[in-house]
Amino acid sequence: MNSRKPVTLHRLREMHAAGEKIAMLTCYDAAFARVLDRAGVDALLVGDSLGMVLQGRDTTLAVSMDDMAYHTRCVARGNRTAWVIADMPFGSYQESAELAWRNAARLMQEGAHMVKLEGGGWTAPVVRFLVERGIPVCAHLGFTPQSVHRLGGYRVQGRDAAQSELLNSQAHELADAGAALLVIEMVPSTMASALADTLPIPVIGIGAGSGCGGQVLVLHDMLGLSSGQPLKFVRDFLNGAAGIDAAVRRYVTDVKSTAFPDNAVHGF
Ligand code: KIV
């Protein structure tokens, strides 16, 4: 029985203000939404990583709005109290703020509480447009999978001073535009923790070290189901656990206590 009150944006802000870490996992269907919600995961991300994890593709680029709408609907049906974030897929927000609005509104109507979009600079006016019209937005900087070909593959971002300064100024610009959360992916832990200390909104890290205001992992990675060699910063929480429920509970506990991630194995 899940006695938790629904997690709201207000609650996420309270957690951030109190220094409580936010535990987020990707989720793509109703069955896992039930398990993750019951285990106390604060936020479920219907990530476009489903293109790789569920559909077996090499990148997220072919994921469609129909795919995202379907999986958002499934997660919303299984979830009771967690905050649900749906990814805007490649091509659904780049052309204009109006196109972004139409597609974001569709995901909200399927049961998302917030949408996430990738990139900085040009995205700030799009974020403002959505937020002013009532849609909470999560920004995503660092390694942004929809730009994998422009970035030259799955590479750490923000390593040099110029890159790090650019990411920092883009993050502040997105927060000024009204983004309420920021996911930062595959950046040096020192850079991420300096950003998390100065940004007024929670910074959720993936491959960004333990200094962030919360963590997100791809569900199948943290259950040891990823194809190929897992990235260094991923931990298999099912290894040694009594089952999926216990593995997810361990993830939540370890994020909250900062036992995960371990900067010593982070590697950058
Ligand atoms: O799509 C996704 O799963 C994501 C996470 C990697 C943050 O964007």
Give the whole-angstrom CA distance, residue 82 versus residue 74.
14
Take atom 1 of ligand 1 and give the residue whose Cα is closest: 47
Residues with CB under 6 A from ligand 1: 26, 45, 47-49, 87, 183, 185, 206, 216, 218
Classify residue 4: in a domain, yes or no: no
Classify residue 1: in a domain, yes or no: no
Give the whole-angstrom CA distance, residue 238 versus residue 62.
30
Is pTM beyond 0.95? Reply is yes
pLDDT at 117: 98
Domain CATH for 212: 3.20.20.60
Q: Do 22 and 256 touch, CB atoms closer than 8 A? A: no
Note the residue count of the chain. Answer: 268
Give the whole-angstrom CA distance, residue 135 versus residue 122.
18
Instruction: Give me ligand 1 centre to Cα 218, in Å.
Output: 7
Q: What is the mean pLDDT of residues 169-178?
A: 98
Query: What does the mean pLDDT of the chain come to?
Result: 96
Q: Do 223 and 244 touch, CB atoms closer than 8 A? A: yes
Annotated catalytic residue 185: yes
Q: Residues 95, 118, 173, 185: which is the catalytic one? A: 185
Query: Does residue 264 surpass a pLDDT of 90?
Result: no
pLDDT at 228: 82
Complete DSSP assignment for 52-74: HHTT--SSSTT--HHHHHHHHHH
Smallest CA-to-CA distance from 222 within 27, 2, 86 is with 27
Take atom 2 of ligand 1 and give the residue whose Cα is closest: 47
- Inter-CA distances, 73 with 36, 51, 120, 215, Å: 16, 16, 28, 24
In this structure, the number of other CB atoms found within 10 A of the CB of residue 34 comes to 17
Instruction: Give me ligand 1 centre to Cα 132, in Å.
Output: 25
Query: Does residue 262 surpass a pLDDT of 70?
Result: yes
Classify residue 180: in a domain, yes or no: yes
Classify residue 2: in a domain, yes or no: no
**Which of the pair, 157 or 227, is modelled with greater confidence?**
157
Split into its structural domains, the chain has a count of 1
Q: What is the mean pLDDT of residues 162-166?
A: 96
Range of the domain at 64: 9-266
